[in-house]
């Protein structure tokens, strides 16, 4: 009976979402305050019902209710309770429910904190959020019901996909979704701005922390995914340009452009149309990402053969969101545009170049990711684009960004002066060159590694110079407001990230070897002694576990236990062993026994020495932290606007220049 209540809750939520999506829009159009006032209670009610549905699904997993098809497909009696909860988002239906749940959390927060926005604008924003919810709830109810029954009820369920049975991976989807869904706020702002024909700087200021937080969550999710791929896939790689990774990377790139574009629009009022366009794209790509990953449409347009309704629904939904908002943009953007002019040498120009690069990079990734579909449509045969395509174009596009980044903060809005730039160029340039020359002796002249050191020094000296400038020129207490500190952190993160990528890619030593017990391999200055493998078991898996002792100059460094797990339904999953360090990782993964009947004999093993690989995620985490810190700036919290005209016509908020 309970699962049916979940479905009922979803239907009620859909009705409330319809009310939240339509009535306030009508109210804002006709100037009817009663209709506008529907937005907040409807949003709250919808959130209650969605939370109920979500809770009921969690409960079904906790209680082993295998009469629910989704529960039976994704869990079993041996699955520990924490993985049973993670199993809620272990497949398509539950993921969508998680998505809509997070959307409701964002909407409720928006409703609570938007009291000080002009009523007409706030109700339009909430209405757009409601319309998004309508799309997702309808998708769940009509095509992807997580509460469908399975009769007769089986005695035990199947299993959660073993790739999800990892502590890091359980949090990856919710964090990623929080990022995806967060872009809906910027989207709602953009659409509300277009509908009303105006976008006040003060409103953009209010929207900025939301975008920053969404982007920071997305960063966190991507870093977690990359870490997981490194630790779990047993290949030692951290990024594969895989369609699923690209799906989250595209909104990240556009979101990165958006947080910078919003800064321009908020401070100077210019580039409003561009900011709106990026808001639309960031959210559209988030939608695309959500659907691409779950639908399997990427590798084949025929993936929907089993349930064409889903495919048609997704296509229709995307068409309405992307097409509708772009149409609205074409009609209304000229009315919204405006702002102050700027010279060639100015902060706007640098930010704009960065924006352009991010946008082009996102388009490049989109083309590469969707190429199998394009190839299919053009009858090119079964074709896909390999990682070298991305690996060649992406660094090329990011090169100007890395080169220009130190200058950005030094430039003034509108018109910057050149002498200060020469100073930065000279100081950071000399530091980078000097360190590169020194580094060249340590890395055997490997160009990539030298470039890594040079970019790290170039970027971090740039950040440092600006930090010093603030220290000298600004009175105490106002030197590093949160917005500034976040920017410095994130930019430093770029340096750490670039260094991590280039150094680890050029200096890694990898070796696939066959080892009998007692044999030793010498890699990167370390001796790996294979002591053989044995059987071991866990709650819902059994594994072959290898034992490798690592020594350096006869001193013990680590004892590593890589595993090859076999889960209940026979899925095999590699659990590599990593000995982590700030400057190097040692990484061991089990391949396979040379003789399948003798696991105590020789094995094939992957042995890696990976210097600086941790800097990749370290840099990502610094960027994430920067995003969160930025969002905490007091400036973004609207004080009660000096004058709030609530008369239905001509709502204007006095610009509060903080």
Partner 1 sequence: MPMNPTRKRRLTIVVSILVAAAIAAVLVVLALQNNMNYLLTPSQVQSGEASSYTTFRLGGMVKAGSIQRSNDSLKVTFTVVDAGGAMPVEYTGILPDLFRDNQSVIATGHMDNAHFIATEVLAKHDETYMPKELKDAMAKAHADKKIEDAAAAQDNMPGTPRP
CB of 282 to partner 1, least distance (A): 19
383, with CB counted inside 10 A (0-12, 13-18, 19+), is exposed
Nearer to partner 1, 173 or 500 (CB): 173
Q: What are phi and psi of 313, to 5 degrees?
A: -60, -45
CB of 143 to partner 1, least distance (A): 11
Q: At a CB cut-off of 8 Å and minimum separation 6, what does 175 contact?
A: 217, 220, 221, 224
Nearer to partner 1, 20 or 290 (CB): 290
Give the bridge partners for 536, in sequence order: 543
Q: How many other C-beta atoms can be found within 10 angstroms of the C-beta atom of residue 468?
A: 10
Which uninterrupted H or E stretch holds 578? strand 577-579
Nearer to partner 1, 372 or 546 (CB): 372
Nearer to partner 1, 151 or 305 (CB): 305
CB of 309 to partner 1, least distance (A): 12
Orientation of helix 272-295 relative to helix 324-336, angle to 10°: 170
CB of 74 to partner 1, least distance (A): 8
Strands of 409-506, DSSP E: none
Q: At a CB cut-off of 8 Å and minimum separation 6, what does 656 contact?
A: 202, 638, 639, 641, 642
Nearer to partner 1, 168 or 323 (CB): 168
Q: How far is CA 88 from the centre of its chain?
A: 20
CB of 433 to partner 1, least distance (A): 28
CB of 251 to partner 1, least distance (A): 14
CB of 605 to partner 1, least distance (A): 8
Nearer to partner 1, 392 or 441 (CB): 392
Cβ pair 67, 149 in contact under 8 A:
yes
Which uninterrupted H or E stretch holds 454? helix 447-473
Nearer to partner 1, 299 or 319 (CB): 299
Nearer to partner 1, 420 or 523 (CB): 523
Nearer to partner 1, 316 or 572 (CB): 572
Angle (CA) 598-601-602 rounded to 5° is: 120
632, with CB counted inside 10 A (0-12, 13-18, 19+), is middle
Helical ranges in 296-346 per DSSP H? 308-318, 324-336
CB of 305 to partner 1, least distance (A): 5
Nearer to partner 1, 383 or 658 (CB): 383
DSSP calls for 258-287: HHHHHHHHHHH---HHHHHHHHHHHHHHHH
The CA distances from residue 412 to 407, 418, 483, 619, 656, in Å, are 10, 10, 16, 27, 20
Q: Provide the token pair at 61.
A: 């997993």
**DSSP SS3 for 161:** coil
CB of 559 to partner 1, least distance (A): 22
CB of 47 to partner 1, least distance (A): 25
């Amino acid at each position: 009976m309970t699962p049916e209540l979940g479905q009922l809750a979803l239907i009620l939520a859909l009705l409330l979402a319809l009310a939240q999506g339509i009535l306030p829009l009508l109210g804002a159009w006709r100037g009817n305050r009663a209709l506008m006032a529907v937005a907040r209670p409807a949003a709250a009610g919808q959130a209650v019902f969605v939370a109920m549905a979500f809770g009921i699904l969690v409960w079904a997993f906790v209680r082993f209710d295998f009469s629910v098809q989704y529960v039976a497909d994704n869990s079993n009696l041996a699955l520990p309770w924490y993985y049973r909860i993670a199993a809620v988002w272990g497949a398509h239906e539950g993921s969508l429910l998680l998505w809509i749940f997070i959307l409701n959390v964002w909407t409720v927060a928006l409703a609570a904190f938007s009291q000080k926005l002009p009523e007409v604008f706030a109700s339009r924003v909430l209405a757009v959020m409601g319309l998004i919810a309508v799309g997702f709830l309808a998708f769940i109810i009509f095509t992807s019901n997580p509460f469908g029954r399975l009769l007769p009820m089986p005695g035990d369920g199947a299993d959660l996909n073993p790739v999800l049975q990892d502590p890091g991976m359980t949090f990856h989807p919710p964090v990623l979704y929080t990022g995806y869904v967060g872009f809906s706020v910027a989207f709602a702002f953009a659409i509300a701005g277009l509908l009303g024909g105006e976008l006040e700087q003060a409103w953009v200021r209010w929207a900025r922390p939301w975008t920053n937080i969404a982007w920071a969550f997305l960063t966190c999710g991507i870093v977690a995914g990359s870490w997981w791929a490194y630790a779990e896939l047993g290949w030692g790689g951290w990024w594969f340009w895989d369609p699923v990774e690209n799906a989250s990377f595209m909104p990240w790139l556009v979101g990165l452009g958006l947080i910078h574009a919003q800064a321009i629009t908020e401070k100077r009022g210019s580039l409003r149309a561009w900011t709106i366009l990026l808001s639309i794209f960031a959210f559209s790509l988030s939608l695309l990402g959500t659907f691409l990953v779950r639908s399997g449409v990427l590798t084949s347009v025929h993936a929907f053969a089993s349930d064409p309704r889903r495919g048609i629904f997704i296509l229709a939904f995307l068409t309405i969101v992307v097409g509708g908002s772009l149409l609205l943009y074409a009609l209304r953007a000229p009315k919204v545009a405006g702002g102050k002019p700027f010279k060639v040498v100015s902060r706007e120009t640098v930010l704009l170049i960065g924006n352009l690069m991010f946008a082009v990079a996102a388009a490049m990734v989109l083309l590469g990711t969707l190429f199998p579909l394009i190839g299919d449509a053009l009858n090119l045969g079964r074709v896909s684009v390999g990682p070298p395509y991305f690996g060649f174009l992406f660094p090329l596009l990011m090169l100007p960004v890395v080169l220009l980044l130190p200058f950005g903060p030094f430039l003034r809005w509108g018109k910057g002066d050149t002498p200060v730039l020469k100073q930065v160029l000279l100081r950071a340039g000399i530091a980078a060159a000097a360190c590169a020359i020194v580094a060249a002796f340590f890395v055997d002249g490997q160009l990539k590694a030298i470039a890594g050191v040079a970019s790290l020094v170039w970027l971090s000296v740039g950040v440092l110079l600006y930090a010093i400038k603030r220290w000298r020129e600004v009175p105490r207490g106002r030197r590093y407001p949160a917005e500034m500190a976040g920017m410095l952190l994130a930019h430093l993160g770029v340096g750490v990230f670039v260094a991590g990528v280039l150094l680890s890619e050029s200096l890694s030593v990898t070796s696939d070897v066959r080892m009998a017990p007692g044999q030793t391999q010498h890699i990167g200055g370390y001796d790996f002694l294979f002591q053989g493998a044995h059987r071991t078991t866990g709650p819902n898996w059994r594994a072959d576990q290898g034992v490798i002792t690592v020594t350096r100059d006869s001193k013990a460094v680590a004892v590593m236990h890589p595993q090859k797990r076999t889960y209940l339904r026979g899925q095999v999953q590699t659990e590599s062993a990593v000995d982590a360090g700030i400057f190097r990782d040692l990484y061991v993964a089990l391949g396979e026994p040379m003789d399948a009947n003798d696991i105590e004999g020789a094995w094939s093993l992957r042995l890696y020495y990976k210097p600086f690989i941790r800097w990749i995620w370290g840099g990502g985490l610094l960027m994430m932290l920067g995003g969160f810190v930025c969002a905490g700036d007091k400036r973004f919290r609207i004080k009660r606007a000096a004058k709030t005209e609530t008369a239905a016509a001509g709502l204007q908020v006095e610009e509060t220049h903080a």
